[in-house]
Amino acid sequence: MASEEDAEQSYVPQKKKSESEDDKRRKKIVPGSLMKALMRPGGGESNPSDGDQIIYHCTVRTLDGVVVESTRSEHGGKGIPIRNVLGKSKMILGLLEGIPTMLKGEVAMFKMMPQMHYGEEDCPVPAPSSFPKEYDLHFEIELIDFSKAKVVSDDLGVLKKVIDEGQGWESPREPYEVKAWISAKTGDGKVIMSHTEGEPYFFTFGKCEVPKS
């Protein structure tokens, strides 16, 4: 039977989780610098959290309603929503704090003081050209979707979302031969390549063999 002294000696205190840069930025938030108005309720009960890929439209306006920039085509944008990974992507502080309060499909208006958008000191996101970062602004956000994402490349250029779980424990590596169904879409959902019927693609992993559409 272990003595009380042995039990004390075997105890190893857990290391405290180090504070992230985003956590340090959140400490600078002051009351009233970020305010939210619900424009359209969303669905479900869950909110996005760190590690989730978020897909959203964003329209920025001055307080008197002049559009500064937008992802929406009706406001001069390309119509392609923004994709970020919470806790990984560089984001303005107001969205970093505001989007996790939203539900899927929700539309909200966030009123931000300069320190909550590009006017933040040492903001990690560069302000667009001629952006009025010294003013209070309205950010209209539509949260289209969010889901857990695995970061494949350090620059966030490749993210993985599991649609159907696979089997087994091993993943392909060089020089495995691979058979796969492959499809591709643009950021706005347009299918540019789809091969999900007939014979699957066959190629050698790690070689310069790119399946043709």
Name the domain count of the chain: 2
One domain for residues 81 and 145: yes
One domain for residues 48 and 90: yes
Q: Which helix (H) or strand (E) holds 59?
A: strand 52-62
One domain for residues 61 and 118: yes
One domain for residues 96 and 196: no
Per-residue pLDDT of the chain (213 residues; tens, 9 = 90+): 455 555 455 555 666 667 888 888 999 899 999 999 999 999 999 999 999 999 999 999 999 999 999 999 888 888 999 999 999 999 999 999 999 999 999 999 999 999 999 999 999 999 988 999 999 999 999 999 999 877 665 555 565 666 666 666 677 777 777 777 777 776 556 777 776 676 777 777 666 565 555
Q: What DSSP string describes 145-179?
A: EEEE-EE-STTSS-EE--SS---SS----TT-EEE
Structure tokens at 154: 């350090």
Question: In this structure, is residue 106 part of a structural domain?
Answer: yes
